[in-house]
Amino acid sequence: MAGGSKDYIVLASDSGAIAVLEFNNKSRRFVTVQYHEFGRTGLRRLVAGQYVASDPRGRAVMLAGVERSKIVYIITRDSEARLMLASPLEANRSGSVCFDVVGVDVGYENPVFAAIESCYEDSEGSGKHLVYYELDLGLNHVVRKWSTAVGDTAHKLIALPGGNDGPSGVLVCLEGSIEYRHFTSTGEMAVYAVSIPRRSNLLNDTRGLMIVASAVHRMKNAFFILAQAESGDLYKITVDFAEDSVRRVGIKYFDTLATAASSICILKAGFLFAAAGGESGGSHQLYQFENLGDDDGACFSAEGLSYFQPHELSSLALVDEIEGACPMLKSQVLHVAVGEEAPQIYAACGTGARSSLKIMRHGAEVSELAVSELPATPRAVWTVSGGSDLIVVSFAGSTLALAMGEGDELAEADNALGLALDEATLAVCGVEGGGIVQVTPRAVRHVMSDGRVTEWVPPMGVISCAAVNIRQAVVALGRSGECAYFEMHAGVLREHAERLSVGSDVTCVALAPIPQSRLLAPLVAVGCEDQTVRVHALEPHRCLEALSMQAVADVAHAVAVMDHGLGDLAMYAGLRNGLLVRAQVDPVSGDVDDTRTRFLGARPVQLCPSGQSVVALSATPWLCHVQQGRVRSTPLSYDMLDYVAPLGDNLVCVAGASLRILSIDRLGASAALTCASIPLAFTPRGFCVHDVSRYFAVIEAEHGRWAPAHYAAKLEESGAEDEALPPEQFGLVRNAGGWASLVRVLSPFDGETVFLDELPAGHAALCLAPVRFGNDSYVAVGCAVGLSLRPRSCESASIRLYKWTTDGTGLELVHVTPLDDVPQSLMQFNGMLLVAAGRGLVLFDLGIRRLLKKAQSVVAPHLISSVHVHPTHPDSWLFVADVQESVLLVAFNHTARVFHVIVDDSLPRYITSMRALEDGFTVVAGDKFAYEIRR
């Protein structure tokens, strides 16, 4: 807003409301400043919110729907300078379809918004028009100021700076060209056009390019525009102007990004952020500008076509990347990985040459920095700061002290700190004054800074567990149900006159963190054999007084008390049955409330504090930390660990007989899943897994692109030569109307492709399904030749039947069976192969030279999109989804060998995916409007 230094975000969603957000630096969260409801919920074409545009001076916001609706909010401030939204003003026009809306920079004149519209009720025709809407701030209403016809392929607007920074107006992006349009103050219309340069295509691809994203960057007395085409190529657009008149519009090839972004943004610090999304998917990427491309080639401004040869990144350098899984085409939850307790998500993601099969695990990504083998299996590990950082490892009857040597290598440290290395260690910590307290089963040893050692030996029995900080120590005395408490006085560790008695055997103990304004921890938590966790005070005026007791579901194996900075203390209890209990503890009264439980695994839960976080170890390691003012529990995608200790910003861990140093790369909502990607050649259309070998069969198909091998053969046939570009960066070469497909078998363990069958040019692999005939396993692949999507037709269709090899690591083509229509879905039914082709269902059995047709019926009114077997009647009932008429329940008559519909939906729904639940009465389906339907 004018006169302010803070930016706001205007958000419109399918909730039918507008929200204005600001970023709170303290809480690191977005806060809602204004929230206004204006329409019904859902993705409706008549409800505004599909497009949002703001006035460059921050005075108004326009929301537009796909059809008819446009509303404008005037933005003001109240007496306390808080942002306010006035009542919405309507600028509706019936019978019009909107394609894009932007705010035009007209300085401080009345705000103007530009839109691309097409009026289908106009008697003069339904072509597209560029329309200016003006908000009269004096009269408080919106008028349709100006309109001019544009090309039918106009799809995007780019607003240019105005005032002293630019000529104002908009760039209209069409297929293959860009036009400058503006209605000047004198009533004249300015028009300048420039063609978008194309890649050199030796096979004469004549289709023009479409601009999908753009960003305007202002500099001192100049500006430029970066626009990205659907191919991923970036173009730099410059406008030469004098005052408010344009002299020339220039465009040149700038660089190529790996994927077409949904939006790009140029930061003042010299970075370019490309946000992935939509059908192209991909990853969010951050680039740094190396140069502005001024010395690299000519800037084209003529209306004729111009060509260029794409090159590797020269003006941009990739800095960071957040991997995404959009679009996710198919997914299954499978337990394939050996040695992992939790199943994994296997998803076919992406489009084009950047497609992949992603293996997703629930957990944050962990990097392994170092691994050292130990002479035996350790029980615990700690880090001690005493002149130099030490790593203390405890074994069954000994202790090992390690130090970081030259080259960040671990080496055995000398015994200068006085640790008892011939005994196991229960707890160790550096204390005030530079000494160390080591607790062994036999004694409490205080090693002072001058080398003197004092020992406290329990009067009877041994020490079972202990907790130590820089000024205090609590040790449990065998099975007596008592604990001895120690405090530092004048540099000497002294035992308290009284003992802490809990009336039950102590299994674990933990000290609360020391507050900043105090010298001692105020509380101690004690886990007992009677399935309780007790809280006692350690303050001088009520030392060892019992404050509260929390009953738990099993014996506590470990306990920890943490201060997450949220007011109350957090007490964690790891139980022997694998449960993690978290509760809030009042630091003054010691009251325990808000108890929460999570199951972590079959192993007893070990707790290891690390700064303000806690690492909980069971079958899977978990990190309990604070994010945006809330305590969150995040699993770590790593092997099973036995003990963890903090080492600076990293973690030192013991797993089996090895010592490992780990680093947690990223936390947060975006790090909830760890992905491993296996690259694919084309867009994946489906996959299945072999029951024994666990190898994956994947079908891939790409529309409108050449396969690299077919493109090379075509060039060789024509006698032309072309430089081969890596398709992962530059994409596949366009081939209007063509198809490229293949069938692949890969190993999910190492990502290696063990079988590859590249189908002939023009073949589209659309669906696959595993099927068993007798004792043999097969994979059926539905294909079409010369497939046209609109109108939907094909030259021929077929089922390619592959047989798994004996070891399940390859496929052998058995035969090809022709079909009458395009196959949409395949599945096994009654020991045979069920094919959904067009509107009908066809049942095939195995034959020697081809599949044998056993039944065929037309059941869908338009086109079948998917088929699923009924869970409780798998031999006779099917759920069939139609692309326009929702879900049908189909029964199979075994005697007559026909399918017939017994139940249908009364409402038409455009079903895209469907899944039948195990109860047999519920179907979950999604339609093309992003709705979820349950029946």
Does the structure show a pLDDT above 90 at 485? yes
- pLDDT band at residue 82 using 50, 70 and 90 as cut-offs: confident
Sort strands 70-77 and 852-858 into parallel, antiparallel or unpaired: unpaired
What pLDDT, on a 0 to 100 scale, did the predictor assign at position 122? 67
The per-residue pLDDT for range 758-809, each reduced to its tens digit, is 999 899 999 999 999 989 999 999 999 999 988 888 999 999 999 999 999 9
pLDDT in tens, 551-577: 999 999 999 999 988 888 999 999 999
Q: What is the arithmetic mean of pLDDT over 610-614?
A: 87
3-state helix vs strand vs coil in the chain, percent to 5:
5, 55, 40
pLDDT-derived band at 828, boundaries 50, 70, 90: very high
Contacts of 598 (CB under 8 A, 6+ apart): 579, 580, 582, 633
466/82: higher pLDDT: 466
458-468 pLDDT tens trace: 887 889 999 99
pLDDT score recorded for residue 131: 93
Res 822: pLDDT = 93
Residue type, 389: D
Q: 123 pLDDT band (50/70/90 cuts)? A: low
pLDDT of 598: 92
Q: How confident is the model at residue 279 (pLDDT cuts 50, 70, 90)?
A: low
How deeply is 807 buried, as exposed, middle or buried, from its count of CB atoms within 10 A (0-12, 13-18, 19+)? Answer: exposed
Percent of the chain at pLDDT > 70 equals 94
What is the model's pLDDT at position 814?
Answer: 95
Mean pLDDT of the 321-325 span:
82
Give yes or no for residue 185 having a pLDDT over 70. Answer: no
| Residue 386's pLDDT band (cuts 50, 70, 90) | low
Residue 691: strand, helix, or coil: coil
Amino acid identity of residue 500, one-letter, is L
- Give 269-307 as a DSSP string: TTEEEEE-BTTTBEEEEEEEES--STTSSPPB-SSS--E
- Residue 845's identity, in one-letter code, is D
What integer pLDDT is reported at residue 674 of this predicted model?
A: 82
What integer pLDDT is reported at residue 3 of this predicted model? 66
- pLDDT for 818 equals 95
DSSP E strands in 805-919: the ranges are: 811-819, 823-829, 832-837, 840-845, 852-858, 864-869, 877-882, 887-893, 898-904, 911-916
Whether 278 shows a pLDDT value over 70: the answer reads no
Among 117-131, 406-420, 485-499, 681-695, whose mean pLDDT is lowest? 406-420
pLDDT at 668: 67
- Give the model's pLDDT for residue 242: 81
More confident residue, 104 or 304: 104
Instruction: Identify the pLDDT of residue 343.
Output: 87
Cβ neighbour number for residue 162 with a 10 Å cutoff: 20
- Quickly state the pLDDT bin for 321 (edges 50, 70, 90): confident
Reported confidence tier of residue 406, pLDDT bands at 50, 70, 90: low
What is the spatial distance between Cα 229 and Cα 736, in angstroms, rounded to a whole number? Answer: 17
- Angle at the Cα of 168 from the Cα atoms of 165 and 170, rounded to 5 degrees: 130
> CA-to-CA distance for 302 and 401, rounded, in angstroms?
75
Res 702: pLDDT: 93
Is the backbone peptide bond immediately before 587 cis, with ω within 30 degrees of 0? no
Q: How confident is the model at residue 507 (pLDDT cuts 50, 70, 90)?
A: very high
Q: For 635-647, what is each residue's pLDDT tens digit?
A: 888 888 999 998 8
> Which pLDDT belongs to residue 33?
92
Q: Name the residue type at position 793.
A: S
Beta-carbon contacts of residue 713 (< 8 Å; ≥ 6 apart):
none
- Average pLDDT, integer, range 396-402: 89
Give the confidence band of 281 by pLDDT, cuts at 50, 70, 90.
low
Residue 593 in tokens = 């409330």
Angle CA 635–641–643, to nearest 5: 110
Residue found under tokens 């300078």 = 81
Exposed/middle/buried for residue 245 (C-beta within 10 Å: 0-12, 13-18, 19+): exposed
Mean pLDDT of the chain: 88
Q: Are strands 364-373 and 630-637 parallel, antiparallel or unpaired?
A: parallel
pLDDT at 309 over 90: no
Q: How confident is the model at residue 426 (pLDDT cuts 50, 70, 90)?
A: very high
Mean pLDDT is lowest, of 16-20, 184-188, 303-307, 734-738, for 184-188
Is the Cβ–Cβ distance between 287 and 293 less than 8 Å?
A: no
DSSP structure class, residue 160: P
**Does 857 have pLDDT greater than 90?**
yes
Tokens of 186: 């004198």
Q: What is the mean pLDDT of residues 398-408?
A: 77
pLDDT score, position 243: 73
Give the mean model confidence (pLDDT) for residues 908-917. Answer: 88
pLDDT band at 930 (very low <50, low <70, confident <90, very high): low
Cα Rg, the chain, nearest whole Å? 34
pLDDT at 614: 92
Is residue 580 within 8 Å of residue 591, measured between CB atoms? no
Tokens of 567: 């007011």
Q: Which residue has the higher pLDDT, 294 or 213?
A: 213
pLDDT score for 584: 92
Q: Looking up tokens 């079958």, which residue turns up?
A: 619
Asked if residue 453 has pLDDT above 60, the reply is yes
Q: List the beta bridge partners of residue 169.
A: none
Is residue 188 over pLDDT 70? no
Q: Which residues contact 139 (CB under 8 A, 6 or more apart)?
A: none
Average pLDDT estimate for 505-516: 92
pLDDT-above-90 percentage for the chain: 50
